[in-house]
Amino acid sequence: MQVVVDKDVCLGAGNCVRTAPDVFDQDEEGFVELLDDNPPSELDEDLLLARRLCPARAITVNEA
């Protein structure tokens, strides 16, 4: 799945980093950084959970 993040709305809660640490990281100020915009399918479940848990709705997952 294709992942896109919106750093401008990110609030730094860090749920994505806890849920899928191979895909998401945080910069020095705590805002989201994408490590992998097309992660392997075994991470699909984690990605969908990260999207659901993101309080700022900063994560978009394209299920193409």
Q: Which is nearer to other proteins, 45 or 64 (CB)?
A: 45
C-alpha span between 27 and 61 (Å, rounded): 21
Beta-bridged to residue 2, according to DSSP, are 62
C-alpha span between 59 and 56 (Å, rounded): 8
User: Least distance in Å: CB of 55 to other proteins?
Assistant: 4
What is the Cα 4 distance to its own chain's centre?
8
User: Least distance in Å: CB of 54 to other proteins?
Assistant: 9
Q: Which is nearer to other proteins, 1 or 26 (CB)?
A: 26
Q: Which is nearer to other proteins, 1 or 31 (CB)?
A: 31
